[in-house]
Amino acid sequence: MRIGILALQGAFAEHKKMLENLGAECVELRQANDVIDLDGIVLPGGESTVQGKLLRELNMFDKIQKLIEQGLPTLATCAGLVLLADEIVNDDNVYFKTLPVSIKRNAYGRQLGSFDTVSDFKGIGEFDMKFIRAPYIVDAHGAEVLAEVDGHIVAVKYNNQLALSFHPELGEDNRIHKGFLQMVQKYSCQ
Amino acid sequence: MLSEQVELNRGLAQMLKGGVIMDVTTPEQARIAEAAGACAVMALERIPADIRAAGGVSRMSDPKMIKGIQDAVSIPVMAKCRIGHIAEAQVLEAIEIDYIDESEVLSPADDVYHINKRDFKVPFVCGARDLGEALRRINEGAAMIRTKGEPGTGDIVQAVRHMRKMNSEIARISSMREDELFEAAKELQVPYELVQYVHENNRLPVVNFAAGGVATPADAALMMLLGAEGVFVGSGIFKSGNPEKRAASIVQAVTNYKDAKLIAKLSEDLGEAMVGINENEIQLIMEERGR
């Protein structure tokens, strides 16, 4: 299994470490040429404005968008969710638009609004969730809701896309990454 | 176990990695920086080169000016307080700044004590010239470290010196026998647990950026090659001929710091770089403030 980790900016190294510990082969995606022979892709946390800009400047945008549309298993956290969303209620910039949800950027305010909580994640159970200047999902439309915190949707799945507001890559708990690798396994066996 | 807040604050620094944090003095500059791909901006009244030129005491910026910048952009906004100035830090926390830089660029308010950053909910970044300084700041509660370099000079030599020194000391600690760590902790004037962390993980417990003297895409790439996890650019952007283009080029250079062909392209037609001041020409040595 060869997982591409978008490594333009942000916390990509943390995802890489977690997936490598689970036995996956990971490759950092920094240029268009890196996007080749992938069984899955991770869109990490960071600043979506920076990642979105670099995706276009480095000619990676169309290539990755097409792969996601064609069914490549995708794990997106925080800024990654922003990149996937079809609509951002407080920002006119949208990116891949492959995930039919409406989100709010920096929905909990500035860093002083960042928080950590334990909540239920569908199919996994209680999970320690770290929200850092995080977005949340205002309307999940057709996507399956996997987790909610204080009445706001913070995790969804839509076909091949698993998108989270919070950061499972920052803790020790790798169950979500394991679940993602199962999605990848199923996909590559098809 | 680290407290929840410490993890969240170190976590924000992790999200900034691979990015460029730019000094800005107006909402307009902040918008230019964001559009050019800055992962955060540092709001301050005068950039370091102008602080140098103006002389006198330099202090925390006007909160109103900082708020103007907070309203102008969606990326994190940082601001500087003077070393040891607890009240300035409290003011910055009160206006919900995302990160406080307890900075040697401003005139120190306390020549002995740094701020007890553990008392704050908001995260701090601090400058360091070597491993001892870095771990002392982390012990005081800093959630992110940057090299001091020599701000406002456009001269990269001090930042390189600080990054190399940090790296060689980390390598030294990593290669020690466990029973030697106690003596190392004594030498570095830091708690044993921090030295033990460096020994086991071969890195600082927090994210480490380069700062002080970065003026070109190649400077930024150099710092990344030396192990920086991201770059602060202070005077280098808005003191140059074409800030938009230079800023965007530095952002791309940080992401693809190993691709010399791309950096060659990024270095073309950038206009005039900031005028540099050499090490032996400067009168005010900022890096010696706060040890």
User: Given an 8 Å threshold on Cβ–Cβ distance, is A47 in contact with B99?
Assistant: no
B142-146, B153-157, B200-204, B280-284: least confidently modelled range:
B280-284
pLDDT attached to residue B284 = 79
* Chain A closest-CA separation from residue B171 CA (Å): 20
Task: Compute how many other C-beta atoms are within 10 angstroms of the C-beta atom of residue A138.
Answer: 18
B38–chain A nearest CA distance, Å: 7
Buried b (16+ CB within 10 A) or exposed e, B238-267: bbbeebebbbbbbbbbbbbbebeebbeebe
Class of domain A2-188: alpha beta
Which is more confident, B240 or A17?
Answer: A17
Domain locations in chain A? 2-188
Minimal-distance CA residue of chain A relative to B93: A112
Rounded CA separation B202/B192 (Å): 15
Q: Which of B7, B14, B208, B261 to probe by mutation at the A interface, max A CB count within 10 Å?
A: B14
| Mean pLDDT computed over B259-272 | 95
Asked whether the beta carbons of A12 and B18 are under 8 A apart, the reply is yes
Residue B258 annotated among the catalytic residues of the structure: no
Average pLDDT over residues A8-30: 98
Q: How confident is the model at residue A56 (pLDDT cuts 50, 70, 90)?
A: very high
> What's the whole-number average pLDDT of chain A?
97
- Nearest CB to A54 within list B74, B122, B252: B252
- pLDDT at residue A77, as a whole number: 98
pLDDT-based confidence at residue A32 (cuts at 50, 70, 90): very high
Q: Which of B67, B80, B117, B265 is catalytic?
A: B80
- Is B98's Cβ below 8 Å from some Cβ in A? yes
Q: Decide if pLDDT at B239 tops 90.
A: no
Section B241-247 average pLDDT: 94
pLDDT recorded at residue B240: 87
Any CB–CB contact under 8 A between A167 and chain B? yes
Instruction: Give the pLDDT confidence score for residue B290 in this predicted structure.
Output: 86
Select the residue from B5, B7, B8 to test the A interface by mutation, using most A Cβ atoms within 10 A: B8
Does the beta carbon of A111 lie under 8 angstroms from any beta carbon of chain B?
A: yes
Q: How confident is the model at residue B280 (pLDDT cuts 50, 70, 90)?
A: confident
Q: pLDDT per residue over A61-111, tens digit each?
A: 999 999 999 999 999 999 999 999 999 999 999 999 999 999 999 999 999
Q: How far is B202 from chain A, CA to nearest CA, in Å?
A: 15
Task: Give the pLDDT confidence score for residue B235 in this predicted structure.
Answer: 87
Q: What is the mean pLDDT of residues A4-22?
A: 98
The fraction of chain A above a pLDDT of 70, given in percent, is 100
What band does B1 get if pLDDT is binned at 50, 70 and 90?
Answer: low
Angle between helices B192-201 and B181-188 (to 10 degrees): 120
pLDDT computed for residue B241 by the predictor: 87
Q: What is the pLDDT of residue B285?
A: 82
Percent of chain B predicted with pLDDT > 70 = 99
Catalytic residue among A14, A26, A167, A177: A167
pTM for this model (two decimals): 0.96
Q: What is the pLDDT of residues B127-186, one digit of tens each?
A: 999 999 999 999 999 999 999 998 888 899 999 999 999 999 999 999 999 999 999 999
Q: Following DSSP, what letter does each residue of chain B receive, concatenated?
A: ---HHHHHHHHHHHHHTT-EEEEESSHHHHHHHHHHT-SEEEE-SS-HHHHHHH-S---PPPHHHHHHHHHH-SS-EEEEEETT-HHHHHHHHHTT-SEEEEETTSPPS-SS----GGG-SS-EEEEESSHHHHHHHHHTT-SEEEE---TTS---HHHHHHHHHHHHHHHHHHTS-GGGHHHHHHHHTS-HHHHHHHHHHSS-SSEEEB-SS--SHHHHHHHHHTT-SSEEESHHHHTSS-HHHHHHHHHHHHHTTT-HHHHHHHTTT--PPPPP--GGG-S--GGGS--
